[in-house]
Amino acid sequence: MTDTTLDRAPQSGPGAPVETLPPGAARLIGLLLVSAFVVILNETIMSVALPRLMVDFSISATTAQWITTAFLLTMAVVIPTTGYLMSRFTLRQLFITAMTVFSVGTLLAAVAPVFPLLVAARVVQASGTAVMMPLLITTVLNLVPASRRGQMMGRISIVISVAPAIGPTVSGLILSQLSWRWMFWCVLPIALVALALGATWVRNVGEPTEQRADVLSVVASVLAFAGLVYGLTGIGEAAAGDPFLAPWIPLTVGAVALAVFVVRQLQLREHALLDLRTFATPSFRVAVLLVVAAMMGLFGTLILLPILLQDALGLSVLQAGLVLLPGGATMAVLAPSVGRLFDRFGPRPLVPPGAALAAAALWLMSTYDAQTAVAEVVAVHVLLSAGIAFMFTPLLTSALGSLPPHLYSHGSATVSTIQMVAGAAGTALFVTVYTRGLVAQAEVGTTGAAATAAGVSDALLWGGVVATVAFVLSLFVRGGQAGEGQAEAEERQTASA
């Protein structure tokens, strides 16, 4: 099977013809969606299990946090290389390798007798996870006509936004009855079934090239994205007074390495590890900036709302997870419908209203205190989730659909990398402001639930500022991006001929 479907795909929009998928494409995409959902779920599934791990392994909270930090760092290192991997290897090779690596990591995590082995298992898990999302996005772009791309990208949005959102809920349900090891035992059979089906169903899309990886690019990529994610993750803990992390050191290394990486990619051009010519497309640039704002808001609230619910409102871990569940369900329900609306009307009627809803929700969250009703938290979180749903699918589709086909794999790798860094930045911003808010409350004699609520309110106030900036940016989103990249590619091919 070759990637010929999109070369002649029509532009989306009102009146565009609806084309059928190639034979077997729906089954392949369905398998990739389920597989990606399972692996991405593991990004946040361990977040509420840290107290159990501290008791079982007799470790501190700082040490236990590495179970999540190691996963994120590995994702940050591997994802930027996926553009090269997808051009160098076939879809079948990458899928089978990624799911095998993820399954092995899951098994090792389930049986890990000591904490260092558990961390190593999470690194193995993340190595497989990092490949799956860019692989899914690129496959959809190569197989789905532009007239149906929004609908399919809506389903991808479920994976990207809903899987991390319900991770704490799933883990809370498991931990209420079983040990933390069952979070891996429950995932392993699903991963193995996906691997077996993939070995049977997955066929190649496109032809691999003989491109070789540039050593300097790989080294600079590792230092840049690992440094940035680790430094951003450590800012919140440093704000609490832990000088050991010294986040400015990895941030400085990451920033310098990122500059080297960017210069090197521009020099290599079509032979780049991560082709940055994607940013030459205006639609891609604007959409990526808005994705950054959306991911900062999403991950920041995923960190702070459980703290508010448990430490200020007195809910259990399970109850806090269930309170957040309607928001995740809202995104899951809306994403396909938003995708269909995008296919008909483009991004302009969807993104600004979504950004406005998200901004309104975060400003409302900034008014929370220790007496806030749980029902209000649920309602406003649903409002935020609806706003992000109206933003995410159109942004992903317009950003990636605006690229010429030969940049699809690099575009999906770029977006996935930026999502990781933006999530870490949002977490750093929210946690830092929250921690400093607690210190300020302690100085005036406020402690306990009231201090926690005040700290969360301060952090979410900054979330409102970020979301307001995103709303202003959303006014610059252009309509009719789908097919823009194909037209550009055709013009270039005509000129070269």
Give the model confidence (pLDDT) of 219-247 as tens digits.
998 898 888 888 877 775 665 555 455 77
Higher confidence at residue 43 or residue 276?
A: 276
pLDDT interval class at 318 (50, 70, 90) = confident
Tokens standing for residue 102: 């993820």
Q: Which of 154-158, 319-323, 478-482 has the lowest mean pLDDT?
A: 478-482
- For 249, phi and psi rounded to 5 degrees? -70, -55
Is pLDDT larger for residue 331 or for residue 480? 331
CA distances in angstroms from 422 to 213, 271, 347, 413, 415, listed in the order given = 26, 26, 22, 14, 10
* Percentage of the chain exceeding pLDDT 70: 88
- Is residue 454 scored above 50 in pLDDT? yes
Q: DSSP 3-state assignment of 475?
A: coil
Q: 493: exposed, middle or buried (C-beta count within 10 Å: 0-12, 13-18, 19+)?
A: exposed
Please enumerate in sequence order all residues whose Cβ is within 8 A of that of 251, keeping only pairs 6 or more positions apart, or say none.
227, 228, 231, 232
108, pLDDT greater than 90: yes
The arithmetic mean of pLDDT across residues 439-457, rounded, is 82
Tell me which of 322 and 115 has the higher pLDDT.
115
Which CATH number does 25-489 carry?
Answer: 1.20.1250.20
pLDDT confidence bin for 485, thresholds 50/70/90: very low
Q: Which residue type sits at 37?
A: F
Burial class (CB within 10 angstroms; exposed 0-12, middle 13-18, buried 19+) of 130 = buried
pTM score, whole prediction: 0.77
Comparing 85-94, 439-448, 462-471, which segment has the lowest mean pLDDT? 439-448
Q: Which of 40-49, 224-233, 364-373, 407-416 has the lowest mean pLDDT?
A: 40-49
Contact 129, 372 (CB under 8 A): no
Tokens read off for 440: 């300020």
| Residue 185 CB partners (closer than 8 Å, separation 6+) | 110
Share of the chain above pLDDT 90, in %: 19
For residue 290, pLDDT over 60 is answered with yes
270 DSSP 8-state letter? G
Q: Are 330 and 389 in contact (CB under 8 A)?
A: yes
| Least confident span in 85-89, 339-343, 454-458, 492-496 | 492-496
Q: Which residue has the higher pLDDT, 53 or 213?
A: 53
Q: Whole-angstrom Cα distance, residue 57 to residue 53?
A: 6
Residues contacting residue 433 through CB under 8 Å, at least 6 positions apart? 455, 458, 459, 461, 462
Split at pLDDT 50, 70, 90, the class of 193 is: very high
Residue 259 to residues 82, 218, 223, 273, 342, Cα–Cα distance (Å)? 20, 13, 11, 14, 35
CA angle 121-72-41, nearest 5°?
75
